[in-house]
Amino acid sequence: MNSREIKEKVKSLKKLYDEEKFDEAHAESESFVLDLFKEKKYKDIVEADKKLESIPIIFEVAYSYSEMGDENKAEEIYETILSFPGEENNPAILNNLSNIKKSKGKIKEAFDLIQKAKKKEDIYKLLETHLISRKGVEVLLRKNFSKNDYEEFMEERKKTILKEIKNILEIGDESEQMPLMSPETPFSNRLQMERIIKGCDDYLFWVDKYFSLEGLKFLSQFLDTNEVKEVKILTSIEKSDENFRSLFKSFKSEMKNKGVVDCALRIMSRKIAPQIHDRWIISQDRCFNAPSPDVVARGQYSEFKETKNKPPFEEWWKNSKDIITEWNIIKGFIR
């Protein structure tokens, strides 16, 4: 649609409104906007809306105002649409309105909107692209969000941004390949495990079908409980018995005393365990293929390898059983 055709269409629509043929004018206006939107003629949509002052209140109009830099008008239209019956959970509108709120510094309002639009795990993934960590998301989720919460959120985001800058610039030795572990380097082997665990931020997820007491020892020694507030260990029934369960209870209690809010260990089902071969230590922005703690302690030939491929931990976790609260079910896994 060229500029002359657009002007003629606006003129004919205005005539319909002047003649009070509102139903016809409304239907044709909406069709007109949709046609312009397909051609990405956002400026023409905005100009038509200003001239007619009766363009239907629809997503495409709000989007066009946003594209033309008028976020206030876009925000007003999006909020009006959300008040319509059946539109209150429209994910496209919630997402776009959230972006506008965020650009205006209304972080809590932006987060509340995105929370309505997505599942919690999707929120983690989405906000991670905006350099908002898992811990930052948890702060935003707090009820009765306060000024102190806001300051804590901003401090956490600052830390995340600085870490990303460090990763991009490859400052320090974090990007260097870790050396091969061997029986001749028992001290260095432990240093590597220490480096991995101490480098975890916000949370530590550990997947190892043969996780053992040695793993709990490493965590007790090396975990920075000022930085990590969530520990989740996923293992199999192979090395889990009443004695290990009792040891983990003590470990969980100690972690709680040190400030780790969420510490849990779950046992994979017989269905999930055969699907998993490797072992991983996963944190906020890093993931490592990792040898078992027993392998490190024995000094066997092995190595840590950083990977960008994170396994579907949350899916496995959801389908596994808690070693403390669901022990009776877990015992059924034993053949």
Give the residue from 241, 253, 264 showing the smallest Cα distance to 327: 241
- At 212, the pLDDT band (50, 70, 90 cuts) reads very high
Output the six-digit token pair for 255.
């972690």
Over residues 53-70, the mean pLDDT reads 82
Q: By mean pLDDT, which of 77-81, 142-146, 203-207, 260-264 is the weakest?
A: 142-146
Give the residue from 172, 210, 207 showing the smallest Cα distance to 300: 210
Name the 3-class secondary structure at 202. Answer: strand
Residue-wise pLDDT tens digits, 268-280: 988 888 999 999 9
Residue-wise pLDDT tens digits, 88-141: 778 778 888 888 888 888 877 877 777 776 655 666 666 777 788 877 877 776
Give the residue from 327, 328, 280, 330 showing the smallest Cα distance to 306: 280
What's residue 175's pLDDT? 44
Name the 3-class secondary structure at 266. Answer: strand
Cα of 95 vs its chain's centroid, Å:
14
Instruction: Decide which of 36 and 140 is more confident.
Output: 36
Q: Which amino acid is at 270?
A: R
Question: In the chain, which residue ranges form alpha helices assigned H by DSSP?
Answer: 3-18, 22-38, 42-52, 59-67, 71-82, 91-103, 107-117, 120-128, 134-140, 147-169, 186-198, 213-222, 242-257, 293-298, 313-318, 327-330
**Is 171 a residue whose pLDDT tops 50?**
no
Name the 3-class secondary structure at 270. Answer: coil
What's residue 288's pLDDT? 95
The C-alpha atoms of residue 312 and residue 121 are separated, in whole angstroms, by 11
Q: Compute how many other C-beta atoms are within 10 angstroms of the C-beta atom of residue 330.
A: 21
Neighbouring-strand partners of residue 58: none
Q: How many CA atoms lie within 13 A of 328 on its CB side?
A: 1
Q: Compute how many other C-beta atoms are within 10 angstroms of the C-beta atom of residue 200.
A: 25
Instruction: Decide which of 168 and 39 is more confident.
Output: 39
Residue-wise pLDDT tens digits, 138-169: 777 677 778 888 888 888 888 888 777 766 66
Q: Cβ distance 186 to 298 under 8 Å?
A: no
The C-alpha atoms of residue 267 and residue 74 are separated, in whole angstroms, by 49
Q: How many CA atoms lie within 13 A of 332 on its CB side?
A: 7
Give the residue from 35, 97, 14, 90 showing the smallest Cα distance to 62: 97
The C-alpha atoms of residue 175 and residue 2 are separated, in whole angstroms, by 54
Nearest 5°: phi and psi at 57? -80, 95
What's residue 176's pLDDT? 53
Over residues 222-233, the mean pLDDT reads 92
Instruction: Decide which of 252 and 135 is more confident.
Output: 252
Give the residue from 22, 44, 25 showing the smallest Cα distance to 35: 44
